Copies of this chain bind each other. A is one copy, B any other.
């Protein structure tokens, strides 16, 4: 871990634990170079990370002000997996795997994000996710067989991301995603015990590795009343 990451970790921890409360100023860049024994550009890199994550807002001639940043987010938000999300929020996590099979990638759900998608060989993982003990999310994930030839059932039941990153050593880099609202299908109603006429929030994402290989396609169908997406953005 580089020096600037250490400085970032220390400052973000001190913001989280209230050492630097919302509205207060962080030490000046000059002070940070002395405190942490780093050059100014290195201190500035740490501050840039804090800015990007919504911890601070820098004000010219004044300093770095601690601001309210989003505390938690749904899995869809920043490529955070369902398991990481439940661990963060403390909601009980449970997944029923209802499909784990070799198939071809369906192109229809991903048409908007990838118009020229080919029906490549893939492994389909279908899961029902529970929030507070109730079925709340139906996930259909397609992983390209060319990148991941096999998925053990335990990985599907636990966490696919954990398996990809720690088990296979894949480096996940970025993702394009969409959120839409659709009427619940008969399958949605069956799996999530919904009444007729209800709607679901649908998130579609396409995820790539650090070498720019696209390898994973997911459609998540959320019970509308359990769905919240939260984000922090900067004007550009």
Which residues does A use to contact B, with CB under 8 Å? Answer: 23, 41, 52, 54, 57, 59, 65, 67-70, 77-79, 112-114, 172-182, 197, 199, 201, 208, 210-212, 224-225, 227-236
Contacts and interface: CB of A to CB of B under 8 A. Distances in A.
B181 A79 contact: no
A67 to B, nearest CB: 6
A219 to B, nearest CB: 14
| Copies per complex of this chain | 2
Nearest to A199: B199
Residue among A52, A69, A228 with the highest chain B CB neighbour number at 10 A: A228
Nearest to A53: B236
The 3 A-B residue pairs with the shortest CB-CB distance, nearest first, are A181-B224, A199-B199, A179-B229
A179 B233 contact: no
Contacts of A114: 68
Contacts of A23: 212
B67 A174 contact: yes
Given A70-B176, A232-B175, A59 B211 contact: yes
B180 A210 contact: no
A18 to B, nearest CB: 16
